[in-house]
């Protein structure tokens, strides 16, 4: 299955699941809890206050070497927005890719997503755990704080 087919399939609309594709085109669905959605919303709110240029978005589809992955929260530059705004999915990763851990996620899975997003041009990967603690990464190492949004807190509350 291709991402365009996923987006057009009526039976896959309005599901309470996060949907992605693996490299074989198989659907991967993960349920989103209320806590997950609250963390996404809080991250979006804070980023919109800190990064006043570009665009903060939820559920951003990125074409990777392991299928289409969906970034929980992303920040794109104005130039990136112009490149992808008419597309169904993006061949480039946003500069900041943020994943919020779900009960069904593993650390190994998140580190694989981090690698995939960096391969597609991301500059930072953030991981929000089940307690709102944020881990920041660039391509080389774990960071104490974000280099692109240094004012972003290391822990968020919901």
Asked whether residue 47 is assigned to any structural domain, the reply reads yes
Residue 117, pLDDT > 60, answer yes
**Residue 113 backbone phi and psi in degrees, to 5:** -60, -40
Asked whether residue 4 is assigned to any structural domain, the reply reads no
Give the strand order in the sheet containing 142-143. 55-64, 67-76, 96-100, 124-128, 134-137, 142-143
Task: Output the domain CATH number for residue 47.
Answer: 3.90.1570.10
pLDDT tens-digit series, residues 62-102: 999 999 999 999 999 999 999 999 999 999 999 999 999 98
Residue 16, pLDDT > 60, answer no
Taking the CB of residue 124, how many other CB atoms lie within 10 A of it? 22
Asked whether residue 93 is assigned to any structural domain, the reply reads yes
As a whole number, the mean pLDDT across the chain is 89
Asked whether residue 6 is assigned to any structural domain, the reply reads no
Asked whether residue 9 is assigned to any structural domain, the reply reads no
pLDDT tens-digit series, residues 144-153: 999 999 999 9
Residue 60, pLDDT > 80, answer yes
Number of domains in the chain: 1
pLDDT tens-digit series, residues 83-93: 999 999 999 99
Asked whether residue 15 is assigned to any structural domain, the reply reads no
Residue 1, pLDDT > 60, answer yes
Specify the pTM: 0.86
Domain membership of residue 50 as a residue range? 32-143
Asked whether residue 98 is assigned to any structural domain, the reply reads yes
Asked whether residue 40 is assigned to any structural domain, the reply reads yes
Q: How confident is the model at residue 4 (pLDDT cuts 50, 70, 90)?
A: confident
Asked if 6 and 52 touch (Cβ cutoff 8 Å), the reply is: no
């Amino acid at each position: 299955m291709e991402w365009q087919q996923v987006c057009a399939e009526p039976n896959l609309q309005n599901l309470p699941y996060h949907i992605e594709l693996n490299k074989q085109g198989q659907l991967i669905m993960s349920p989103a809890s209320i806590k997950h959605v609250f963390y996404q919303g809080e991250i979006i709110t804070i980023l919109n206050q800190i990064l006043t240029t570009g665009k903060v978005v939820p559920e951003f589809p990125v074409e990777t070497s392991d299928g289409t992955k969906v970034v929980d929260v992303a920040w794109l530059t104005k130039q990136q927005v112009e490149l992808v705004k008419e597309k169904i999915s993006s061949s480039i990763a946003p500069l900041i890719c943020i994943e919020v851990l779900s009960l069904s996620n593993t650390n190994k899975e998140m580190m694989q997503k981090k690698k995939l997003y960096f391969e597609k041009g991301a500059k930072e990967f953030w991981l929000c755990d089940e307690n709102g603690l944020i881990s920041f990464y660039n391509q080389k190492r774990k960071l104490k704080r974000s280099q692109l949004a240094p004012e972003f807190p290391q822990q968020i509350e919901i």
